[in-house]
Structure 1
Amino acid sequence: MVNFSQMLKIREPELLDREDGHWYKTKFDQIYPSISTILSATSSDTKQNSLKSWRENEPAHEYITAQAQDIGTQSHKIIEDYLSKSLSLDEFDLLPIAHFNNLKPYLENISNVTSIEQRMYSDKLKVAGTSDLIAEYDGELSIIDYKTKRKPQVDEYMYEYYLQTTCYAQMFQEVTGRKINQVVILVSSEKNTRQEFIKTCDDYIEPLYERIEKYYLTSLN
């Protein structure tokens, strides 16, 4: 049986400490931006202006952002420990624990874990990133991501995540030769809602390529 986890580990890039987004260095000294950095840089003017306006008009925006990041980091760690069967909730805050318990019914659909927090890259696309989870979801090999939000999400808000996880699927295929057809985004909100978004990668490959091309064309100018 092919050991995908071992194949990924051998090719795992190094995450660099930079202030201009997330960047990765491969074992062959290529340096690539993360897919999240690319998507942020190429998002619509409307989205970028909205974020800028929020920062300008919300005095506590740095605190809110830092708090959200901490909650997300803790929630991810709880899920990682749970999937690794090494979970102890003593070290975590109440809200991340609540997010975990909220998502737990969906976590029961996960089996045959390939890798957790896996760093990957694509020489073809000149991009890198870290996937939350590669495992089977309802029996199908998937890229799985989990998000913690303040309120429930609608499908259109998740579009960037579909591109991001589809990119991880492309990286995975480039390393292993195995195509992943499905991405899964699991969302827990502070309104005590949980949502499951399941998409087919093929629907997002073309717009993903367009965003990456836009990023590199812009950076050349």
Structure 2
Amino acid sequence: MKPFLAICRLLRKLNGFSVKPSSLVTFSTSSYLGGQKKKSSYEAVDEAKYSRLVRSVLSKASAQTPESLFKEDEILYGPVSKHKAPEQEQQVRVPQNWFPLFNEERNVKPHTSASSGPLKIPLQRNVIPSVTRILQQTMTPEQRSFLEKWKQRMVLELGEDGFAEYTSNIFLQGKQFHETLENILSLEENFKGREEHLQCGFIKSVQHILNEISDVQALESAVHHKALKYVGLLDCVAEYQGKLCVIDWKTSEKPKPFIRSTYDNPLQVVAYIGAVNHDAHYSFQVRCGLIVVAYKDGSPAHPHFMDEELCSKYWAKWLLRLEEYTEKQKVQKLD
């Protein structure tokens, strides 16, 4: 320690500076002790400049907001593709001219007994549009495109004449199916014991549905909604599992286990329900609907029951289609 202090005093005399001895001096046996220590690259950094840079970055980071982060992401990676839930993609439309589906002034149960025979009011041909026409004239572009592609595919497979024959046979099968059901459900003919009907695949398909139907009130009967100005010809009004329904019979070559597979059929059913409830020819009120999809191969038909809540939802959609049809007619008259 004495030699080290002597050296310090000597250096102070020669150069005019002082070196304070450390309170703790350690010695190492490392081979680097005798050599000059190599400078690290970090020692050459301007510490003042670096500290200002750090403070600048930290101050900016603290001022970041979700909006500024989204803007930076958009610049770096492009705009964000925003996908909304299906029910939020389109704004919910509300009918401008609301009319109630149900008629609270009427009883649910019919005043007259079905023993007098179901109603069969003939359809009067006039200028009032039918439910079928309104739905056809207000199909969405997607529906039109689907039908057009289906027609093109069928024409390609069958040819023009073959496609015409195919559509004619489909229409004939549907007509015969409805006529047979009308005979079965009317009081003129008892379904039990009439095995010849079971030879028809469509009738075999709906047999389990027929067993659930009772108290038929109307068959192939016309309806007229005077307030909303449309007419229609419903298939059947009867009780299904104890609930009075407007029943619509459909045929299909493909299975339709879900109501969404029936396209505009629910709108057709609620249009008939609304007309029945406000048509003076009918003394009762209907609050439910039923779509029955029958199959030619005889496989069990799919029944799609529509309760009051579901009917009310489709009624709002029907009113929108009715308004759309009215607007189109006004535009055509102006043209």
Is the pair's TM-score, using the shorter chain for normalization, greater than 0.5? Answer: yes
Q: How big is each residue's C-alpha offset from its partner over 1:28-66, in whole Å with a ceiling of 9 and x where there is no partner?
A: xxx211101110110111111221233234123222211
Q: Given the two structures, how large is their TM-score scaled by the length of structure 2? A: 0.55
Q: Within 5 Å, which residues of 2 pair with 1:202-221?
A: 202-221=312-331
Q: Which residue of 1 aligns with 2:214?
A: 111
Q: Which residue of 2 aligns with 1:190?
A: 296
Q: Which residue of 2 aligns with 1:165?
A: 269
Q: Which residue of 2 aligns with 1:19?
A: none
For the 8 Å contact 2:123–2:221, the answer to whether it is kept is no
For the 8 Å contact 2:208–2:300, the answer to whether it is kept is no
Q: Per the alignment, in what secondary structure is the counterpart of residue 255 of structure 2?
A: coil
Q: Give the RMSD, CA atoms, in angstroms.
A: 2.6
**% identity of equivalent residues:** 22
2:265 maps to amino acid: Y
For the 8 Å contact 2:201–2:295, the answer to whether it is kept is no
2:314 maps to amino acid: Y
Q: How big is each residue's C-alpha offset from its partner over 1:49-103, in whole Å with a ceiling of 9 and x where there is no partner?
A: 221233234123222211111111111111111112427787x895xx1110110
Q: Per the alignment, in what secondary structure is the counterpart of residue 318 of structure 2?
A: helix
Higher-strand-fraction structure: 1
2:238 corresponds to which of 117, 135, 153? 135
Change (3 A) 1:9 1:74: closer
Aligned pair count reads 203
Deviation at residue 146 of structure 1 after TM alignment: 0.9
2:163 corresponds to which of 61, 66, 69? 61
1:2 corresponds to which of 111, 116, 126? 111
Q: Which residue of 1 aligns with 2:179?
A: 77
Distance (whole Å) between structure 1 residues aligned to residue 326 and residue 316 of structure 2? 16
Q: Per the alignment, in what secondary structure is the counterpart of residue 125 of structure 1?
A: coil
Distance (whole Å) between structure 2 residues aligned to residue 4 and residue 170 of structure 1? 22
Change (3 A) 1:11 1:72: closer
Deviation at residue 120 of structure 1 after TM alignment: 1.1
Deviation at residue 159 of structure 1 after TM alignment: 3.7
2:288 maps to amino acid: Q
Q: Which residue of 1 aligns with 2:99?
A: none
Distance (whole Å) between structure 2 residues aligned to residue 89 and residue 34 of structure 1? 36
Q: Which residue of 2 aligns with 1:120?
A: 223
Q: Which residue of 2 aligns with 1:199?
A: 306
Deviation at residue 10 of structure 1 after TM alignment: 9.9
